[in-house]
Structure 1
């Protein structure tokens, strides 16, 4: 099947990929506009340290999108941060491959 079908990616988000800590705090890459499917549902997720935190929004994007934990994202006009990003790759199986991103 490959990537999520284009007809599902009805929304647009802006991503500034987290690139690491600099001398003045977090550093981010250039803004990239991605097509996405946005699910505004509160749920409990684990962050990079394994701590349970509340995610307000889940965004589904193409698998090749660059959006590591700590990235900034503008969703529906709201600036938020990536808690975790999970690659959903079927490895050639007929699955809808995508990147699932949990946001603050």
Structure 2
């Protein structure tokens, strides 16, 4: 069961208005949104997956309440189906027209306030007993991969640069993904590495077990101001 980082009573305190009848559902949806936005955040949790640092607890609570407040103001029911707004009144302010929500799979329509209330690296959270980190910590990268950067094609096929080894965290699981053209395909290995990893799409990678594979997609994860360690994520054939 997904964790919920705020209660209806806390939502009432945040907005200054009575919580809606379906507040628990909205808070659960908003908690999922915040979790998705902080996908690579590193902080200590208890056995139930809840943060233990009071600063992080308060920041996540406020971010979830702000997300629900945003969804209520834009007419969203928490599913994202309503887009941003069509016609809505907030006190003396009336908005009309429409701005669609996210169109990229996995993108989160996050309210501006949560970006300010979510925990920040300097706020004293913890990661393995220390401060929140700004890049993926070395102690998480327990494997080693060799990357031959893709240089383009020639009359003889793909060209690759010299192999360079890099620490990484490798998960060899089967997942459906979309390649750089948008076509659906299957990834059989996923790699998390440091943000400075040199691995263009199409690069040849040797995994820890010696298997060679090709990089289908390469994503550089950054979130300035949020406790999300910068990293590079590679989906492999």
Please give the TM-score of this superposition, normalised by the length of structure 2.
0.43
The Cα of 1:31 is off from its aligned counterpart by 0.5
Which residue does 1:71 correspond to in 2?
203
Question: Take 1:69 and 1:52, find their aligned partners in 2: how far apart are those partners?
Answer: 16
Residue 63 of structure 1: SS of its match in structure 2? coil
Structure with more relative contact order (C-alpha pairs < 8 Å, separation 6 or more): 1
* 1:56 maps onto 2:170 in alignment: no
Question: Take 1:73 and 1:12, find their aligned partners in 2: how far apart are those partners?
Answer: 11
* 1:15 maps onto 2:147 in alignment: yes
Aligned length: 104
User: Which has the larger helix fraction?
Assistant: 2
Please give the TM-score of this superposition, normalised by the length of structure 1.
0.94
RMSD: 1.0
Which residue does 1:35 correspond to in 2?
167
The Cα of 1:93 is off from its aligned counterpart by 3.1
Question: Which has the larger Rg?
Answer: 2
Q: Which runs of 5+ in 1 are unaligned?
A: none
User: Which has the larger strand fraction?
Assistant: 1
Q: Is the 8 A contact 1:2 1:92 kept in 2?
A: no
